[in-house]
Structure 1
Amino acid sequence: MGRPKLKEIVINRDWCKGCGVCIHFCPKHVLEKDAFDKVVATHPENCTCCKLCEIRCPELANEIITED
């Protein structure tokens, strides 16, 4: 059994407050803030599916979806 493969990074922009907690915890610098101070996945190809952004988001705005 290998590492999970990323299918999609879902960020609920209505819930995101732009606090940056998910950006801080991402070990591969996948996330950044956009011009509206909301988080976006600018480098999804670097995502290791560790789900730290999902776990640490105080607003539950992030979801890492992996392939089965």
Structure 2
Amino acid sequence: MARGERIEIEHPDWCKNCGICVSVCPTDILIKGKKIVEIFDLEKCIGCHNCELICPDFVLKVVASDED
């Protein structure tokens, strides 16, 4: 995991709200929303890639944050 990486919902239309990513997030920043998974507190994201790796529909992606 690289410093300054954060999760983003890259393909929201692909999300089935299955919650698998929610269950593997070590910082509990992902929550099941009404229709799709939502990011609750992005500042707590440690960029571990767990959610990106486990998502069966490639909805999530860990990207470099814009912070300098």
Question: Aligned residue for 2:13?
Answer: 14
With the length of structure 2 as denominator, give the TM-score of the two structures.
0.82
1: CA distance between counterparts of 2:47 and 2:30? Answer: 13
- Extract unaligned runs of 5+ from structure 2: none
What is the number of residues matched between the two proteins?
66
Question: Aligned residue for 1:57?
Answer: 55
Runs (4+) of structure 1 moved beyond 6 Å?
Answer: none
Q: Secondary structure at the match of 1:14?
A: helix
Report matched runs for 1:1-68 at 5 Å: 3-6=2-5, 9-36=8-35, 38-67=36-65
- Normalized per residue, which structure has more helix? 2
Gap change, CA 1:11 and 1:39, over 3 Å in 2: farther
2: CA distance between counterparts of 1:23 and 1:53? Answer: 7
CA offset at residue 8 of structure 1? 5.3
2: CA distance between counterparts of 1:28 and 1:8? Answer: 12
2: CA distance between counterparts of 1:25 and 1:18? Answer: 14
Task: Name the % identity.
Answer: 29
